[in-house]
Structure 1
Amino acid sequence: MSRRLSRRALPLCVLLTGVLTGALLRTTPAAHAHAEPPRPHAAERGPTGLFQESATARLQADGSLSDVVGLSKTDVWAVGQEDVWEAWQNRGVITHWDGTGWTEVGIRNDASSAGHLRSVAAASPRDIWAVGEGHDGLPYVVRGDGSAFDRVSVPQLGSGDWLGGIDAVPGRMVAVGGRGGDTLIATATAKGWTAVKGKAKGMLYGVALTRKGDGWAVGDGASQPLIMRLSGNAWKTVTAPSIPGGYLRDVSMDGPKKAVAVGGVYHDDGKISPLLLEWNGKRWRRAQLPDRYAELYGVTGDGKGHFWVSGFDAGHPGEAYLLRGGASGWRAVRGEGSARPRTMRLQSVAHVGDLTLAVGHVVDADDHYTDVIERFQPKTVKADAAATIGTDGDGSPAAR
């Protein structure tokens, strides 16, 4: 099994957190907690006023986190997988941060074994959803109450359907992906499930909802950015800027007049430039970014017009890379480097209170994966009082 993917496969590759498409997983075993190591060292490379540290949830060998959602600073959920390169041994992971440590939570009723979990969403502290794929070739949907998860049977989904993004608000869950070359949108409400094959060609990777019934879904539509909008109960394709080679990976909303979608643009030389689109209530426009080449994977907002974007900078592969900004512009936020060769990709980002968490993986010179969590907080939060989230004493992700 090759570890190198073609250029045109990259949107799916980054959505799978660098893991090969189609990898099979088994269910998470009984829940267990990871012991917390000594207080980490804080890096000083972020923008003025930010405290930054690298951490890990301490997944097993070759672990990677693909998505994260936060309800509060003591209630954060992340999903991913372990044993990335072992097709018949890897397994999906659901892990929870309670303010003091990360705890893996199992899936109770899964006889076929959990597939790679790509996306997670929380409508409330007792209503958490995740999607991915199963050993049985079906899309994988789980729902949890904060203490345990169960696989959800969805008759409207079949073999060949693919789900890559999810969001949830009280009373509604929406998962997006693809079916036979067309877009796919699956919705769960009190009335039951629907799974609609869209008229647009392409794949949807990210979705964002509001409690008022608005929403956006984004993806790749035949080498052009693809954007769909929810109004009431209907999804319709909307006009996106014409950007040949462009695709969108994630979207975040801050009300009906403010949204941000992120992705990239392929070039003939194999390089990828970052793509960030902003919605102003009337149209989508491309934003000016500080770096010529970078890959953007996840985006989140604070509800006050400010956004964080997670990604990868090929010019500084060993450093954490995020963008921070909004209407006033965007600036890069970088983590501490490493003396050892490595590549760090931050696949998703969540913001709760004054805490920003970005998750992903680090790949070392031997192609071994380690899950990684980057934390950013204002420096007014004293390092001595800040919760350690899983690092070695030097601030680097803990060794397995």
Structure 2
Amino acid sequence: MFRPVPVPVLPPSTALADLATAGEHHAWLAGTTGVFTSRPSAPLVLSWTGETWREERLPDLPAAASLSGVAATAPDDVWAVGNSAGRPLVLHFDGTAWHTVHTPAITWAKAVVAVTRDEVHVVGTGRDALHFDGAAWHQRTALSSAREGLLTITAPAPHDVWAGGGGLAGAGAASYEYPVLTHWDGDTWTDVAGPRLERGHIARLAAAAPDDLWLGHVRDTEGLRVHRWDGNTWTSVPSPDDVGRLSVHGVAAGWTWGVRATRTSFEARPAFHRWTGDTWTAVPLPDALARTSASHVGLATTGATTWAYLKTAAGVHVLRHTDS
């Protein structure tokens, strides 16, 4: 079962975006405060101290900003990315303090992966990506069309990085979205064939190993569907079975998360499922949270420890699941 852990009180205007771990005892949650308010939005990072979650002190910024992704290789090497004043916002924690990092410009940064201290990639809604090689940041062309963009990135190894998103084909009423998948081999980005997906976009990628890649695909109003790569072929993973209407929002290695609603209610209650090898099993939540409408649901796992977050009318909640 997921068990709640202490979280600082955050403003109702908080939007949660992403969660990252570095080992079993370190985790970071990124988001934005001041969303849909009259004051400028500001980046937010929470960190797990081993006993509680605390709000990190971030650099002062001259303009409104938001965070959309976070990644870590170690407790003293954490990256958070987002946008501010029309440019990518990249923040780095060195174990002592957070610093703003200057990078080349790309269109609307969405996700970051840190494979090692000297191998960091940032992707966004445009065709270009950012690459840190330990010495400097470089702008790389990751997609072949200006009508394509990237939303998610993962990496089981420094020269084995995957990024996914979508492109737009056609014009006007005849336009449609198609998925794109690209791979970094240590030198260049190359378009690769993913599972046979004709429409929609790739919303989430998660790699447990070079031969174990999980892909979440969204098409129209059908919700997210899960596919898995074993190093040779793609297979479709059946969707979790749950009570009422289940909408899966994301996938990690061996996990999905989303919300479900009963047929008599439109309340979106949080739902987390774990892959047992041939089927999905619902992981219970504390009763108070299981019965509460939630948004901004997400998850990250190290294997033995899994962190989940969600937002309800009462505020932000973070939960921990261990295999002990």
TM-score by length of 2: 0.84
Aligned partner letter, 2:23:
S
Match of 1:190 among 124, 134, 139: 134
SS at match of 1:72: coil
Aligned partner letter, 2:110:
G
- How has the CA–CA distance of structure 1 residues 237 and 77 changed in structure 2, closer, same or farther, with 3 Å as cutoff? same
Number of the residue aligned with 1:372: 317
Residue by residue, what CA displacement relative to the aligned partner does 1:348-382 show, whole Å, maximum 9, x if unpaired? 312236321112322x4xxxx8322232234x5xx
Shift of residue 288, structure 1, vs aligned partner: 1.1
Residues 1:80 and 2:31 aligned together:
yes
Match of 1:356 among 301, 306, 312: 306
Q: Is the 8 A contact 1:64 1:360 kept in 2?
A: no
Query: How far, CA to CA, are the matches of 2:277 and 2:182 in structure 1?
Result: 22
Residue by residue, what CA displacement relative to the aligned partner does 1:70-98 show, whole Å, maximum 9, x if unpaired? 11343211110123221533321011111
Number of the residue aligned with 2:161: 215
Shift of residue 276, structure 1, vs aligned partner: 0.7
Query: How far, CA to CA, are the matches of 2:120 and 2:89 in structure 1?
Result: 14
Aligned partner letter, 1:172:
E
Query: How far, CA to CA, are the matches of 2:248 and 2:67 in structure 1?
Result: 19
Number of the residue aligned with 2:200: 246
Number of the residue aligned with 1:19: none
Number of the residue aligned with 1:98: 49
Residues 1:157 and 2:111 aligned together:
no
Number of the residue aligned with 1:312: 259
Query: How far, CA to CA, are the matches of 2:256 and 2:153 in structure 1?
Result: 15
Shift of residue 330, structure 1, vs aligned partner: 2.5
Shift of residue 341, structure 1, vs aligned partner: 8.4
Query: How far, CA to CA, are the matches of 1:61 and 1:339 in structure 2?
Result: 17
Number of the residue aligned with 1:228: 182
Q: Is the 8 A contact 1:264 1:295 kept in 2?
A: no
Number of the residue aligned with 1:299: 251
Shift of residue 339, structure 1, vs aligned partner: 9.3
Number of the residue aligned with 2:171: none
Shift of residue 143, structure 1, vs aligned partner: 0.8
Q: Is the 8 A contact 2:259 2:268 kept in 1?
A: no
Shift of residue 325, structure 1, vs aligned partner: 0.9
- How has the CA–CA distance of structure 1 residues 72 and 356 changed in structure 2, closer, same or farther, with 3 Å as cutoff? same
Q: Is the 8 A contact 2:307 2:321 kept in 1?
A: yes
Residues 1:147 and 2:96 aligned together:
yes
Root-mean-square deviation (Å): 2.7
Number of the residue aligned with 1:116: 66
Number of the residue aligned with 2:12: 61
What are the ranges of 5 or more consecutive residues in structure 2 without an aligned counterpart? 169-176
Residues 1:281 and 2:234 aligned together:
no
Query: How far, CA to CA, are the matches of 2:248 and 2:131 in structure 1?
Result: 26
Identity in percent? 22
Shift of residue 244, structure 1, vs aligned partner: 4.5
Number of the residue aligned with 2:172: none
Query: How far, CA to CA, are the matches of 1:215 and 1:99 in structure 2?
Result: 30
Query: How far, CA to CA, are the matches of 1:299 and 1:99 in structure 2?
Result: 26
TM-score by length of 1: 0.69
- How has the CA–CA distance of structure 1 residues 51 and 96 changed in structure 2, closer, same or farther, with 3 Å as cutoff? closer
Query: How far, CA to CA, are the matches of 1:172 and 1:339 in structure 2?
Result: 38
- How has the CA–CA distance of structure 1 residues 87 and 188 changed in structure 2, closer, same or farther, with 3 Å as cutoff? farther
Shift of residue 67, structure 1, vs aligned partner: 0.8
Query: How far, CA to CA, are the matches of 2:132 and 2:157 in structure 1?
Result: 14
Residue by residue, what CA displacement relative to the aligned partner does 1:157-177 show, whole Å, maximum 9, x if unpaired? 15xx11111110221100111
Aligned length: 308
- How has the CA–CA distance of structure 1 residues 96 and 125 changed in structure 2, closer, same or farther, with 3 Å as cutoff? same
Residue by residue, what CA displacement relative to the aligned partner does 1:11-50 show, whole Å, maximum 9, x if unpaired? xxxxxxxxxxxxxxxxxxxxxxxxxxxxxxxxxxxxxxx3
Shift of residue 114, structure 1, vs aligned partner: 5.6
Shift of residue 58, structure 1, vs aligned partner: 2.5
SS at match of 1:343: coil
Shift of residue 346, structure 1, vs aligned partner: 4.7
- How has the CA–CA distance of structure 1 residues 290 and 297 changed in structure 2, closer, same or farther, with 3 Å as cutoff? closer
What are the ranges of 5 or more consecutive residues in structure 1 without an aligned counterpart? 1-49, 302-306, 381-400
